[in-house]
């Protein structure tokens, strides 16, 4: 999980992602940030997140992000 937090903080260093249960509602991530995050996750874990998976529900918090990565065989 620390690695995932590190990736998030590279994108938005001003936020403490451990403290939020909804990154989108809390204004921590917007649509451009999600696109940047998908690219960073694809590169870091050598996966290709499918377009149908790029929905707000998968990017709400650390747990939903970890669940998304597990679908691609990544343990976050």
Q: Answer yes or no: is pLDDT of 70 > 80.
A: yes
The answer to whether the beta carbons of residues 22 and 61 sit under 8 Å apart is yes
Fold of the CATH domain 2-70: 1.10.1200
pLDDT, residue 1, reads 87
**3-state DSSP assignment of residue 47:** coil
pLDDT, residue 76, reads 75
Per-residue confidence band for 62, with pLDDT thresholds at 50, 70 and 90:
very high
pLDDT, residue 17, reads 96
What is the per-residue pLDDT across 18-60, written as a single tens digit (0 to 9) for each?
Answer: 999 999 999 999 999 999 999 999 999 999 999 999 999 999 9
DSSP assignment of 2-20, as one string?
A: HHHHHHHHHH-TTS-GGG-
């Amino acid at each position: 999980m620390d690695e995932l937090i590190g990736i998030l903080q590279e994108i938005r260093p001003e936020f403490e992602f451990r403290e939020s249960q909804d990154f989108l509602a809390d204004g921590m991530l917007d649509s451009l940030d999600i696109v940047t995050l998908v690219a960073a996750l694809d590169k870091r874990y050598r996966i290709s997140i499918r377009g149908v998976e790029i929905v707000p529900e998968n990017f709400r918090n650390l747990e939903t992000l970890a669940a998304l990565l597990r679908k691609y065989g990544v343990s976050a």
